[in-house]
């Protein structure tokens, strides 16, 4: 990636992140020959890379989305979804687009078709399709592929930092009528997501949590106390930064609600913003919108308490329970 994010030194605030990447591909052409280091990680990132490559090929040939859609017997809106990596690819469609875009180099064509096969490989989260709403499934793939995860949470502890008992209580709040088996399935999915933080090369998780979320005794006093102790422990790993937004902050940059921003290891891919709502989610993809949310998160970390104060503040909240 052209941008970088330094891990915060003890006692210092983390550095803010630069603008979202997503510029030229590694090669100085619009071709699809990727070095091994540039190959995507996971099916979701693969779809995004493939879509980005196809978009650059289309634009370099001066072909409209409408014409590309006609070539694969689809609408221009489907071409848009394909280029954003928001839907699956068919080998026949990619082959037809290669013909339309005059991809005559056999190695380049083989790369595109190979990426198509990889993009159609189901991720582990598909095992939980029975408890995963359609709008959340893309996020699961993006989260698994991300190298940096930044979040601001208002009501709850972030899912990647929740204890099993706290997570179960949160799930029950949103699904009061669910049978126990369904609740446990949702819990299993949330715990499985957390495994990314225990990888040999985990993503860097940088989160700001509103004080209100930490003083709300979700699940009761004992459950909340255990959750606070877990957060104190999670302040230790170098790849996790937790900051608190105190009550005394009269106003802050993310007053509108929770925000998550994901950065991919593939340097040609843009950052992804995820805005979860009660029964749906938004994925703003306009560059100016993504940049705006990145600016919001950068301002939040300067308005929040510094990371080295987090363990002390969590212990104070724990004593107040």
pLDDT tens-digit series, residues 200-232: 999 999 999 999 999 999 999 999 999 999 999
Edge-to-edge strand ranges of the sheet holding 272-276? 240-245, 204-210, 148-153, 259-263, 272-276, 281-282
- For residue 125, what are the contacts with CB-CB under 8 A and spacing of at least 6? 132, 137, 140, 141, 144, 189, 192
Does any domain span residue 169? yes
What the block records as the tokens of 8 is 């915060």
Is residue 147's pLDDT more than 50? yes
Residue 168 to residues 146, 213, 230, 260: CA-CA distances in angstroms? 25, 16, 15, 22
Number of domains in the chain: 2
What the block records as the tokens of 204 is 């860097």
| pLDDT for the residue 254 | 61
Q: What residue has token string 């949310």?
A: 293
Does any domain span residue 6? no
Asked if 115 and 133 sit in the same domain, the reply is no
CA angle at 3 for the pair 292 and 306, rounded to the nearest 5°: 70
Distance between CA 89 and CA 295 in Å, rounded? 33
Asked if 114 and 167 sit in the same domain, the reply is no
Asked if 73 and 193 sit in the same domain, the reply is no
Contact 254, 297 (CB under 8 A): yes
Does any domain span residue 217? yes
The enclosing domain of 255 has a CATH number of: 3.30.870
Domain boundary among 119, 152, 177: 119
Asked if 134 and 217 sit in the same domain, the reply is yes
Segment 5-38, tens digit of pLDDT: 334 444 444 556 665 444 433 333 344 544 444 4
End-to-end CA, the chain: 43
What are the phi and psi torsion angles at 88 (to 5°)?
-75, 160
Domain boundary among 89, 119, 149: 119
The CA radius of gyration of the chain, in Å to the nearest whole number, is 21
Instruction: Provide the residue range defining the domain that includes 93.
Output: 43-119
What the block records as the tokens of 153 is 């949470």
Distance between CA 15 and CA 301 in Å, rounded? 9
| pLDDT for the residue 15 | 58
Asked if 303 and 162 sit in the same domain, the reply is yes
> What percentage of the chain exceeds 70 in pLDDT?
84
Distance between CA 50 and CA 81 in Å, rounded? 12
| pLDDT for the residue 250 | 61
Bridge partners of 244, per DSSP, are 209
3-class state of residue 78 by DSSP: helix
- For residue 127, what are the contacts with CB-CB under 8 A and spacing of at least 6? none
């Amino acid at each position: 990636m052209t941008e970088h994010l330094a891990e915060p030194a003890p006692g210092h605030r983390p550095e803010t992140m630069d603008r979202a990447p997503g510029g030229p591909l590694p090669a100085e052409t619009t071709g699809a020959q990727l070095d091994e280091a540039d190959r995507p990680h996971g099916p979701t990132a693969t779809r995004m890379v493939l879509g980005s490559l196809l978009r650059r090929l289309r634009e370099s040939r001066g072909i409209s989305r409408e014409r590309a859609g006609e070539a694969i017997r689809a609408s221009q809106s489907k071409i848009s979804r394909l280029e954003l990596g928001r839907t699956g690819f068919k080998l026949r469609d990619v082959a037809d687009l290669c013909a339309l875009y005059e991809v005559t180099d056999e190695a380049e064509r083989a790369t595109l078709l190979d990426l198509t096969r990889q993009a159609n490989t189901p991720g582990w989260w598909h095992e939980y399709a029975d408890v995963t709403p359609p709008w959340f499934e893309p996020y699961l793939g993006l989260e698994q592929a991300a190298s940096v995860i930044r979040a601001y949470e208002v009501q709850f502890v972030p899912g990647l930092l929740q204890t099993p008992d706290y997570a179960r209580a949160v799930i029950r709040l949103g699904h009061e009528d669910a049978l126990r088996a369904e609740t446990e399935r949702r819990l299993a999915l949330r715990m499985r997501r957390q495994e990314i933080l225990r990888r040999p090369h985990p993503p860097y998780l940088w989160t700001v949590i509103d004080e209100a979320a930490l003083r709300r005794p979700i699940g009761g006093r004992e459950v909340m106390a255990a959750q606070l102790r877990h957060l104190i422990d999670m302040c230790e790993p170098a790849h996790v930064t937790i900051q608190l937004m105190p009550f005394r902050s009269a106003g802050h940059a993310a007053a509108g609600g929770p925000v998550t921003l994901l950065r991919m290891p593939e340097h040609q891919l843009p950052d992804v913003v995820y805005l979860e709502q009660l029964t749906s989610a938004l994925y703003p993809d306009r560059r100016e919108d993504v940049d705006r949310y990145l600016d919001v998160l950068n301002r939040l970390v300067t308005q929040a308490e510094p990371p080295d104060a987090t363990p002390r503040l969590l212990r104070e909240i724990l004593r107040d329970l």
